[in-house]
Amino acid sequence: MARAPTPALMILGTGSNVGKSLIVAGLCRLFADRGLKVRPFKPQNMSNNAAATPGGEIGRAQALQARAARITPHVDMNPVLLKPESETGSQIVLQGRVAGHLASGDFARRGDFLPKVLESFARLGEGADLVIVEGAGSPAETNLRARDIANLGFARAAGVPAVLIGDIDRGGVIASLVGTHAVLDADDRAMIRAFAINRFRGDVTLFAPGVEAIARATGWPCLGVVPWFAAANRLPAEDGLDLTAARKPGAPLKIAVPVMPGIANFDDLDPLKLEASVDLVMVRRGQSLPGDAGLVILPGSKTTMRDLAVLRDEGWDIDLAAHRRRGGHVLGLCGGYQMLGRVVRDPLGLEGPAGEVAGLGLLDVETTLDRDKTVREVDVAHAASATTGRAYEIHLGHTDGPDTVRAPFRVDQRAEGAASRDGHVLGSYLHGIFTSNAIRSAYLAQFAGTSGSMPNYESDIEATLDALAAHLARHLDIEALLALAREQRRQPMR
């Protein structure tokens, strides 16, 4: 006798950045705290913010959702991860492992991934009470529908009912919800069973006529109007659209971060945003690095050599040289670490034509890119303070040279990273080092005025997820959502 399908519900959005990821995270925490074995799932994600799991890479948002569900992240939670490498193509990560390159116009190939997506979805459902699926972008992109695996293409293939989320804060929510209904064909439309409004500000009763208008035009019931959740910025951001500064003018330590096109794993900065003693400045193209910054952080990059060229085009290399002459500190993480060395070699043409480029020369090291990708979680010790924590690595290539003898970290009893002779320039392949309160406190202690009470980053994340779950419980019809998920799944359609 075949096992009944695991209850599942898909959260779709009228566009990107309408709050799908956050709502899924909040629902995962809410249902987990009700005693359900809940699993997050996103068929296809596009992001350079990745997380390391024992089986490989997944989107960082799915790692947060797994945390919300109080479970360990797994590659089946995000079977297709597209990591943009340029305006015209992305690296394909399939079930955690690199599986080639996808040109932006090669939409037909995406449909080839559907069997793997359904395989991961089925495996994830084994032993679970509920799977909450997150869509990507909007299901109304009908030009992409034929080979869609991220939204209603998946919903129909797996027989999963969906709820459509509209973001009222950006304006036009009635048109976006009714317009989505209008452009979908009948079979796709039937998979969407209800809608909800997100990010409402003000008196919700004033929008009652709007809710009625949407329901009348679409035939979908409204399962809630969710007010703006102010603490959302305390959770890790999913993508570059969420890159914001945490300005605290007058704080003892100003940290400048040049924002380059290939920026990756920028959630490394999130713990620093919570520090009262830190004024975090995201420096955009066309701006100079501030001369009064005590620390410049070069974050991770998906395209180290291309971002090095951008850094020079913006004159940030000159700003960095001046910063060093003033005695300023520099920290390079992953791709940023590679940029700090004397040269970056790409003999296999992994980032473009084979060749090499000069680095910034702030560390006496050299980097060679190769095909073998390092993806792992590690225990780490800060060499200067002996404080410890957890971190992860996701990178291509290896870095060697004289400055590695002054490694700032130790990983599994081996030296990791490099430091200049004066200790003011550090480089490391480690991501997530600042989530350790002890390591973050020890590193910041070298800067005047940064000692004292440090926020507990991990506790703050947990408290925010709890608050998010309570927020959704107050404003969504949770029982109706659960009933939708528990309905006998429709016969899968293709």
Structural domain boundaries in the chain? 8-233+463-486, 253-449
Q: Residues 392-426: pLDDT tens digits? A: 999 999 999 999 999 999 998 899 999 999 999 99
Contact 172, 185 (CB under 8 A): no
Which range among 76-90, 277-291, 385-399 shows the weakest confidence by mean pLDDT?
Answer: 76-90
Gap between the Cα atoms of 463 and 474, Å rounded: 17
Q: Looking at the predicted structure, is the pLDDT value of residue 113 above 50? A: yes
Gap between the Cα atoms of 221 and 410, Å rounded: 55
pLDDT of residue 1: 46
Please name the fold of domain 8-233+463-486.
Answer: Rossmann fold (3.40.50)
Contact 148, 138 (CB under 8 A): no
Tell me what the mean pLDDT of segment 81-104 comes to: 85
User: What's domain 253-449's superfamily in CATH?
Assistant: Class I glutamine amidotransferase (GATase) domain (3.40.50.880)
Tell me what the mean pLDDT of segment 334-338 comes to: 98
Q: Looking at the predicted structure, is the pLDDT value of residue 239 above 90? A: no
pLDDT of residue 352: 85
Q: Concatenate the DSSP letters of all residues of 156-212 into one string.
A: HHHT--EEEEEESTTS-HHHHHHHHHHHS-HHHHHHEEEEEEEEE-S-GGGGHHHHH
Q: Residues 10-51: pLDDT tens digits? A: 999 999 999 999 999 999 999 999 999 999 999 999 998 899
pLDDT of residue 350: 87
Per-residue pLDDT band for 291 (boundaries 50, 70, 90) equals very high
Q: Residues 90-100: pLDDT tens digits? A: 889 999 998 88
Tell me what the mean pLDDT of segment 193-207 comes to: 97
Gap between the Cα atoms of 268 and 191, Å rounded: 38
Residue type, position 274, single letter: L
Give the active site residue among 74, 334, 471, 475.
334
Kind plus residue range of the DSSP H or E element containing 102: strand 97-103
Tell me what the mean pLDDT of segment 74-88 comes to: 89
What are the residues whose beta carbons fall under 8 Å from the beta carbon of 3, sequence distance 6 or more? none
Tell me what the mean pLDDT of segment 172-193 comes to: 98
pLDDT of residue 449: 79
Sign of the torsion formed by the C-alpha atoms of 264, 270, 458 and 63: negative
Beta strands in 293-431 (DSSP E): 295-298, 300-301, 329-333, 343-346, 355-358, 366-382, 388-400, 409-411, 414-416, 418-419, 425-428
In CATH terms, are 8-233+463-486 and 253-449 the same topology? Answer: yes
Of residues 158 and 448, more confidence is placed in 158
Q: Residues 340-379: pLDDT tens digits? A: 999 999 999 988 889 999 999 999 999 999 988 999 999 9
Contact 120, 76 (CB under 8 A): yes
How large is the C-alpha radius of gyration of the chain?
Answer: 23
Catalytic (active site) residue 431: yes
pLDDT of residue 479: 98
Beta strands in 305-365 (DSSP E): 329-333, 343-346, 355-358
Per-residue pLDDT band for 241 (boundaries 50, 70, 90) equals very low
Q: Residues 162-176: pLDDT tens digits? A: 999 999 999 999 999
Residue type, position 167, single letter: D
206: Cα separation from own chain's centroid:
34
Per-residue pLDDT band for 218 (boundaries 50, 70, 90) equals very high
Question: What's the mean per-residue pLDDT of the chain?
Answer: 93
Give the active site residue among 382, 395, 431, 471.
431
pTM assigned to the model: 0.92
Structure tokens at 87: 């305006």
Of residues 339 and 453, more confidence is placed in 339
